[in-house]
Structure 1
Amino acid sequence: MTDEQLADELRALGRTAAVPPVADGLATAVLERIAEPPVRRTFAEVVRSRWRALLALLAVLLAGALIAPPVRAAVAEWLNIGGVQAQPVGTGPTSAPEPPVAAGELTLQQAADRAGFVPIVPKALGTPAKVDASKGMVAMSWQTADGVVRLEQFKAQLSPMYIKKYYRELEFVQVVNGYWFSTPHELVLDDEAGNEVRVRVAGPTLVWVYEGLTFRLEGLRDKTRATAIAVSAVR
């Protein structure tokens, strides 16, 4: 039996159905609606209807992403943040040493020549005390009242890639569209052969992406202070 034959039989059954009377005439209205011939929609009308429904669903999802930062933080648990990949683990280190001082004595121009891009210096920190660079990456460090502050910036598709193995929920930092790793965590490199090489334990770190570069700011335990430094780098 085809769909049209089934529809015709259902309409015929509706015409003969015995329905007890109701006060608001609902049954009559339903039976009249069943008796009406079906509305035949063209293929183009069906496609347009489904397309409108899809657009409405996408609008709802987009609105949810814009107004619900915790959702975006949850997504970051299994997506890359530029050149940094965040991997949740069950447990992690309870403490971390200061970040290492950048090993080089390069000028900013020398670092740019070696890295292949012009590094950004946060206005809030000023001229770095130490600068090191390799192809696609620049590391800077400052000696502050809080201790050593280290900023790494590298092309978003860095290979090998950094992996942060963290064990607490990430916190989305909307002002720089980044993420705050509030606890000590394993810092690992995924090399070109796909092998994970442990680098060190890193302390609280702010990670964000700006103009095709990934930034790691480490050495500050206060998220507000780290965020202010990040803002001074991108504005």
Structure 2
Amino acid sequence: MIDVETDGSVRIVTIDRPEARNALTPDGLEALETAIDAADEPVIYLQGRGQAFCAGADLNAVSALDGERDQAADFARLGQRVARTIEDAPAVVVAGIDGPARGGGLELALACDVRVGTPDSTYGEPGVRFGLFGAWGGTVRLPRVLGEGDALEFALSGRTVDAEEALRMGLLSRIADDPRTVAAEIAANASDTLAVLKRRIRDDRERATQERREAAAFADLVAAHADDIDAYSSER
């Protein structure tokens, strides 16, 4: 489910489940965490295989929680932990986004240091349509990246935005036909300086309290909307 290769100073981590739009199960999240955590390259390039970046949580896995609140909170905390691993990695993590980035997939991209989308990339938090939201740190990072006003409108509407609007909102750092070139551009710089810059820019961000509340809210909604989640999962 997670493929790893090295290209010079760049570790390329690929979510490799194209038949499910690279949706992540708990096992997939743990494999992604391992791939990020084991990196000793100065730059990590995160991408999805095929025609999607990542559809977020595998809804079959969410449906299998069967409305159990404790299990749902554990699933949210696992996704949050992986997002923290991305955010706290010594390496600079570049998300190369082609096709859809949805829900938890978008939230993993938000944890990356740089987000580069192709002209065909799209972004959305559709869970609100069936009584859910992505709970992998999105309520922490989305307002930080977009500002509170855009974050609220984007999350509450459940709408999808294209690459140009994502760039305008600040969701994307850049649009490029081949996002990997941006990772190579960054990797050409002094690796020790990259690490220091990342740490200084990311310093002093309190998130633990909000993440606990986010996981609890997700668990409540999974319990309340178990039937809706199951129905939506079956339709996809």
TM-score bracket for the superposition, by shorter chain length: under 0.3
TM-score by length of structure 2 reads 0.21
If each structure's helix is expressed as a fraction of its own residues, which one has the higher value? 2
Return the structure number with greater relative CO, CA threshold 8 A, min gap 6.
2
If each structure's strand is expressed as a fraction of its own residues, which one has the higher value? 1
TM-score by length of structure 1 reads 0.21
**Which of these two proteins has the greater Rg computed from alpha carbons?**
1
